[in-house]
Every structure is written in structure tokens, then in C-alpha cells.
């Protein structure tokens, strides 16, 4: 084991991360990662953020990547630590977020003993990772780390998992190789024939959906897409789940595919052709008896103009040139107007009030689930903001996502709209927000039940809840006290039950520094 003054393998790994612009590490380490912890201690350029649960660590890395447009590192303890973080790595994968996981493992010579924490880390990592590798020897640290970073940065963004055996971390790496490596692959463009085919379809007079995903949902490419849609009579659409949309007053409004199968079928019923740019054909979130899995009408023709791993922004620009749009203007959303609602606090009155009070350039993180089903539509005319949502359906993403977004964008106000049931999965993120003094306002939609599951019980034809089912779907015995839980995590909070008290709490919360929580106790 090297003397502390000797450059260890862990030092080389840290330096390689920094050399490639990765300067934030969300961590929950254990014994096998202590040499990496010591190396991080010697790297003041690396910001180290502790999460008290691995799902907070991976969810924060997801939120950070969505706003920073670059990966953070995670530091996870062996296979069980990685397993605890897999749900939010699933969301990160679905969002196209670049993440570099560093997962410690036992020293190579210790693995044959099958100690209690021994597991097959590579197998655990593969379902959520586009790239997995165990560093076989100290000399490979620079190249393997650089390869992990390149894999994470490959369009549209991927999860890469690098496994670091403890003895590789503590080895003397003075003779290690260079810390630079290949950059992420440059996103390509569609074939010219495919582009011309898309342009011809847009001119053929058929009812056309132009569905956008990934970076095509930023403000500038959305403006280009709006110009195309206005000229050709197409309808703009986004998938139901998206990593990040730049929206609000003065920007292009884009509808999403509805979550409800029946609503989605009605919305898409007249489509004759679908052109995809960085998106996939719309499908139902779940299978329901007697309902289709594909949401497209029979006979709708589908053209994939650009895949998610291609340059969707350049594709839109290229398509606009092919269509000869010139300076045709986009259709921009008007600012919402009118007085605030009043009276009892319902999902609708809460969302309307939030939309009116949301500050400019806020980041709105949405895991409101059923109570916030209309959030997207009701905040179309809010001040310009970035909208981040749960992408893979693995609940517990909202609070960590807001934490990572705030670290990536310290000059912007983050608002997290969080359902109470899913918030319980990762409420430890509040502690990280308090420790890091993050400007996050968390709004808990407190209906004290898994409301979406009450609805889904009927949607799948399983009937209405009896006593046993109700006890699995309700959170009222005992009732959750979010203000008390937040206080225990170091976050101030208040409970509200009317629109007036909600607005009175929200205004100063948005103006103050540091985290604050509002428990919105909703009326049925």
C-alpha cells in the first residue's frame, strides 16, 4: 500500500475525471471506496456531495446532467450500493442523461473468499448502463476512465459504470499512462434521402405529427420546429416523458402524448403520418385489458428522420432549409393572465397559482404523478422555465432530481412538485439540500394516498378497493407529517390548506435563500 504522498490509482482516476471536465461527485461510499475518498480529499477542484441513500445519489446525478449537459460522477459502495441506486439510473437512462458511476469492489485477491458483500457487479449494472467495465489493473485506469466518460457523453447521453477494485485504487500508479482519452463520439446526421423523404411527406397534405425528443425540445430547436409546423400544417408533439423541455411564455408550446390510453387515442386518432426526430413511436405506459399498446391509429405511416443518437438540432435546421422556410416566424406562447384562484387547495388551484408565481428562468422538477396530471397544460403561459420530469416511471426521482439540478444551476430557482407517496422513497434528499444550502422550494402534494393506484385498480379492470387493497394504497394511518420530517432533515417548512395560505407561503419561499418545503394538504 503506497505512502500517502505517492500518487495512487484512485488519484489517477480522479485526475482523469477532472481532466475531462467532470468536477462533481455525488457519493455514498463504503470501506472499499476509502482510497477513492482519500483521493477526492486531495482534489479541491472536485465538489463532493453526500447523499444518505444511493437513490438520492443517482437521482441527483440525473438532475445535474439534465441541466449541466455534462456528466457528474457517482461513488457507490459495491453491488448492493449500486442496486440501491438502480431505479434512478433507470430514469437517467430514459432521460438520456450522461452519468459516470464509480462503483467500488473488493480487492481482487479477496474475491475468492466470497465475503458477505461480494456480488456480480457487472451483471447488476448492465440493465441500466450502456457501458460497463471493471478496471483489471492499475495501468488501465486512465484509458478505462476516459472510455467510460466517452461512453456517457455519446449522444443522447448514457449511463456508464466503471468498477474500481480496492487494490487497484490503492496501488502505486506512478507509472500509469496518460490521463487523456477519446472524446465522446460526434452525433451524426440522417441520410440525405431520408431528409428529402421527410420534406416530401411534410408537403403531401396529409395530417402529420412531428414528434420531437431530447435536445430538440430546447427553445431554439423548438422555434425551428414551430416554423416547419406552421408552414406545412403539421402538429408538434413531445413524448409523454422527457428529460428537459424549455417552455413558458415567449417560447414555443408543445403538447405531450397524454398518459391516459383513452385520452392518447383520442388525441392521435386523425394522424395519417408521424415523423420522428429523436423520439420513439408513442405507446401505452402499461398494458390494459381490451386496449391497444400502440397509440397510433391503424394505417398511420411512421418515418424515423433522426434517431436519439443523431444530431436532432442540426436535423431540424437542415429540414427547415430543405423546405425553404426563410424567416418564417414560430408560434410563441402568450403569458398567462388573470387573478389567482381562491378558496380550498385542490390540484387545479395549486397548479394555477404556481404557474402565476413561478419566477423567470426557474427549473420546475415534476414528480407530481396523479395530482399534477394537468400541470403541463396549466403552466403553458408561466414565466420562461425549464421543465424536468420523471422519465422512466421509477418513482422517487423528484427530490433528488431537484437537488442535482440546483447544484448544476446555482443561479436559478428550483421548484420541485412532489407527490407525497413517491417522495417517501428518497426524502433523504432534503438533508442534502440543507447541507449544500440549495435554493430549492419543494411543494408536497399531500393527498395521503397512492392516488394513481386507486385509479389504476379500476383502469386494469381489477375492481374497486376493499379493506386489504385500501391498506396497500392509502397513507393515512398514520398520516405523514412532511413539515416535521423536513425539520428533521434541516429544512424549514409549513403546511397549507387554502390557495391564500399557499400563495402566502410560496412568495417568500421563492425569494429566500436555501431550501424550503410547503406541504400542500389537498382537498378531495
CA neighbor of 248 nearest in space, from 348, 337, 379: 379
Mean pLDDT of the residues in the chain: 93
Please give the Cα distance from 442 to 422 (Å, whole number): 13
Residues 6 or more apart in contact with residue 471 via CB below 8 angstroms: none
Name the least confident of 196-200, 207-211, 305-309, 465-469: 465-469
Q: Which domain holds residue 25?
A: 9-170
Residue 115 exposed, middle or buried by CB count within 10 Å (0-12, 13-18, 19+): exposed
CA neighbor of 59 nearest in space, from 441, 412, 433: 433
Instruction: With respect to residue 293, please indicate whether it lies within any of the assigned structural domains.
Output: yes
Q: Which residue has the cell 500517502?
A: 4
Q: Do 181 and 16 meet the contact criterion of CB atoms below 8 Å apart?
A: yes
Helix 34-41 / helix 9-19 crossing angle, nearest 10 deg: 50
* 3-state SS assignment for residue 359: coil
Residue 327 exposed, middle or buried by CB count within 10 Å (0-12, 13-18, 19+): exposed
Q: Are residues 318 and 353 in the same domain?
A: no
Establish whether the linkage from the previous residue to 175 is cis, with ω within 30° of 0. no
Residues 6 or more apart in contact with residue 75 via CB below 8 angstroms: 25, 26, 27, 28, 29, 33, 36, 37, 40, 57, 102, 104
Name the least confident of 176-180, 223-227, 254-258, 369-373: 176-180
pLDDT tens digit string along 278-332? 999 999 999 999 999 999 999 999 999 999 999 999 999 999 999 998 888 999 9
Q: Are residues 20 and 143 in the same domain?
A: yes
Q: Are residues 382 and 515 in the same domain?
A: yes
Instruction: With respect to residue 274, please indicate whether it lies within any of the assigned structural domains.
Output: yes
How many residues are recorded in the chain?
524
pLDDT tens digit string along 202-247? 999 999 999 999 999 999 999 999 999 999 999 999 999 999 999 9
Please give the Cα distance from 226 to 224 (Å, whole number): 5
pLDDT score of 471? 74
pLDDT score of 182? 46
Query: Rounded to the nearest 10 degrees, how much is the dihedral formed by the CA atoms of 281, 285, 291, 292?
Result: 20
pLDDT score of 178? 46
Instruction: With respect to residue 330, please indicate whether it lies within any of the assigned structural domains.
Output: no
Instruction: With respect to residue 417, please indicate whether it lies within any of the assigned structural domains.
Output: yes
Count Cβ atoms below 10 Å from residue 475 Cβ, excluding itself: 16
Q: Are residues 139 and 263 in the same domain?
A: no
**Adjacent-strand bridge partners of 79:** none
Q: Are residues 28 and 145 in the same domain?
A: yes
pLDDT tens digit string along 76-123? 999 999 999 999 999 999 999 999 999 999 999 999 999 999 999 999
Q: Which three cell numbers stand for residue 503?
A: 400563495
SS (H, E, C) 386-441: EEEECCCCCCCCHHHHHHHHHHHCCCCCEEEEEEHHHHCCCCCHHHHHHHCCCCEE
SS (H, E, C) 17-75: HHHCCCCEEEEECCHHHHHHHHHHHCCCCCEEEECCCHHHHHHHHHHHHHHHCCCEEEE
Report, as an integer, the average pLDDT of 132-150.
Answer: 97
Residue 467 has pLDDT above 80, yes or no: no
pLDDT tens digit string along 494-509? 999 999 999 999 999 9
Tell me, what CATH number does 300's domain have?
3.40.50.1220
Number of domains in the chain: 3
Q: Do 56 and 428 meet the contact criterion of CB atoms below 8 Å apart?
A: yes
Instruction: With respect to residue 284, please indicate whether it lies within any of the assigned structural domains.
Output: yes
Q: Are residues 20 and 163 in the same domain?
A: yes
Instruction: With respect to residue 69, please indicate whether it lies within any of the assigned structural domains.
Output: yes
Q: How confident is the model at residue 477 (pLDDT cuts 50, 70, 90)?
A: confident
Query: Judging by DSSP bridges, how do beta strands 99-105 and 72-77 pair with one another?
Result: parallel
Cα R_g (the chain), whole angstroms: 24
Q: Are residues 352 and 289 in the same domain?
A: no
pLDDT score of 177? 47
pLDDT tens digit string along 400-429? 999 999 999 999 999 999 999 999 999 999
Residue 174 has pLDDT above 90, yes or no: no
Q: How confident is the model at residue 1 (pLDDT cuts 50, 70, 90)?
A: very low
Residue 175 has pLDDT above 80, yes or no: no
pTM comes to: 0.94
pLDDT score of 479? 87
Q: How confident is the model at residue 451 (pLDDT cuts 50, 70, 90)?
A: low
Q: Do 80 and 119 meet the contact criterion of CB atoms below 8 Å apart?
A: yes
* 3-state SS assignment for residue 516: strand
Instruction: With respect to residue 178, please indicate whether it lies within any of the assigned structural domains.
Output: no
- CA dihedral sign, ordered 180, 181, 184, 185: positive
Q: Are residues 386 and 501 in the same domain?
A: yes
Q: Are residues 157 and 207 in the same domain?
A: no
pLDDT score of 267? 97
3-state helix, strand, coil in the chain (%, to 5): 40, 20, 40
Q: Are residues 148 and 204 in the same domain?
A: no
Q: Are residues 59 and 156 in the same domain?
A: yes
Q: Are residues 246 and 364 in the same domain?
A: no
Report, as an integer, the average pLDDT of 122-149.
Answer: 97
Instruction: With respect to residue 467, please indicate whether it lies within any of the assigned structural domains.
Output: yes
Q: How confident is the model at residue 372 (pLDDT cuts 50, 70, 90)?
A: confident
Tell me, what CATH number does 148's domain have?
3.40.50.970
**Adjacent-strand bridge partners of 368:** none
Query: Judging by DSSP bridges, how do beta strands 516-521 and 208-212 pair with one another?
Result: unpaired
DSSP state at residue 122 = H
Amino acid at each position: 500500500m503506497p505512502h500517502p504522498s505517492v500518487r495512487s490509482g484512485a488519484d489517477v482516476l480522479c485526475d482523469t475525471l477532472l481532466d475531462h471536465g467532470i468536477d462533481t461527485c455525488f457519493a455514498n461510499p463504503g470501506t472499499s471506496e476509502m482510497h477513492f475518498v482519500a483521493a477526492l480529499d486531495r482534489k479541491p477542484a472536485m465538489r463532493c456531495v453526500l447523499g444518505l441513500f444511493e437513490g438520492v445519489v443517482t437521482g441527483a446525478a440525473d438532475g445535474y446532467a439534465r441541466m449541466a449537459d455534462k456528466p457528474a460522477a457517482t461513488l457507490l459502495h459495491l453491488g448492493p450500493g449500486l442496486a440501491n441506486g438502480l431505479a434512478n439510473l433507470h430514469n437517467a437512462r430514459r432521460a438520456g442523461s450522461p452519468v459516470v458511476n464509480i462503483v467500488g469492489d473488493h480487492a481482487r485477491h479477496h474475491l475468492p473468499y466470497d465475503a458477505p458483500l461480494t456480488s456480480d457487479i457487472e451483471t447488476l449494472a448492465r440493465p441500466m448502463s450502456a457501458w460497463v467495465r471493471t478496471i483489471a489493473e492499475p495501468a488501465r485506469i486512465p484509458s478505462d476512465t476516459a472510455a467510460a466518460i466517452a461512453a456517457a457523453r455519446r449522444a443522447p447521453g448514457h449511463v456508464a459504470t466503471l468498477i474500481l477494485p480496492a487494490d487497484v485504487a490503492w496501488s502505486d500508479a506512478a507509472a500509469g499512462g496518460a490521463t487523456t482519452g477519446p472524446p465522446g463520439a460526434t452525433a451524426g446526421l440522417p441520410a440525405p434521402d431520408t431528409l428529402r423523404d421527410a420534406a416530401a411527406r411534410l408537403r403531401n397534405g396529409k395530417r402529420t405529427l412531428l414528434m420531437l425528443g431530447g435536445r430538440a425540445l430546447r427553445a431554439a430547436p423548438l422555434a425551428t420546429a414551430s416554423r416547419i409546423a406552421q408552414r406545412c400544417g403539421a402538429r408538434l408533439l413531445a413524448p409523454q416523458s422527457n428529460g428537459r423541455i424549455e417552455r413558458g411564455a415567449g417560447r414555443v408550446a408543445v403538447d405531450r402524448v397524454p398518459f391516459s390510453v383513452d385520452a392518447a387515442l383520442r388525441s392521435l386518432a386523425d394522424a395519417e403520418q408521424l415523423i420522428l426526430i429523436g423520439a420513439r413511436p408513442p405507446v401505452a405506459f402499461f398494458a390494459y385489458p381490451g386496449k391497444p399498446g400502440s397509440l397510433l391509429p391503424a394505417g398511420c405511416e411512421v418515418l424515423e428522420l433522426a434517431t436519439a443518437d443523431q444530431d436532432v438540432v442540426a436535423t431540424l435546421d437542415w429540414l427547415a432549409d430543405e423546405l425553404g422556410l426563410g424567416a418564417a416566424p414560430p408560434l410563441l406562447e402568450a403569458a398567462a393572465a388573470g387573478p389567482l384562484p381562491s378558496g380550498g387547495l385542490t390540484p387545479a388551484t395549486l397548479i394555477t397559482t404556481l404557474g402565476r408565481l413561478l419566477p423567470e428562468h426557474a427549473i420546475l422538477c415534476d414528480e407530481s404523478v396523479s395530482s399534477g396530471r394537468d400541470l403541463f397544460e396549466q403552466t403553458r403561459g408561466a414565466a420562461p422555465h425549464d421543465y424536468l420530469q420523471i422519465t422512466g416511471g421509477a418513482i422517487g426521482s423528484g427530490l433528488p432530481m431537484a437537488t442535482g439540478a440546483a447544484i448544476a444551476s446555482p443561479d436559478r430557482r428550483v421548484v420541485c412538485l412532489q407527490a407525497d407517496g413517491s417522495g417517501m422513497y428518497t426524502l433523504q434528499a432534503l438533508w442534502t439540500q440543507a447541507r449544500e444550502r440549495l435554493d430549492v422550494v419543494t411543494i408536497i402534494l399531500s393527498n395521503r394516498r397512492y392516488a394513481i393506484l386507486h385509479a389504476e385498480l379500476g383502469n386494469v379492470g381489477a375492481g374497486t378497493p376493499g379493506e386489504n387493497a385500501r391498506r396497500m394504497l392509502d397513507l393515512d394511518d398514520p398520516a405523514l407529517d412532511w413539515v416535521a420530517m423536513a425539520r428533521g432533515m434541516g429544512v424549514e417548512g409549513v403546511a397549507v390548506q387554502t390557495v391564500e395560505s399557499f400563495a402566502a407561503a410560496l412568495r417568500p419561499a421563492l425569494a429566500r435563500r436555501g431550501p424550503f418545503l410547503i406541504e400542500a394538504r389537498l382537498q378531495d
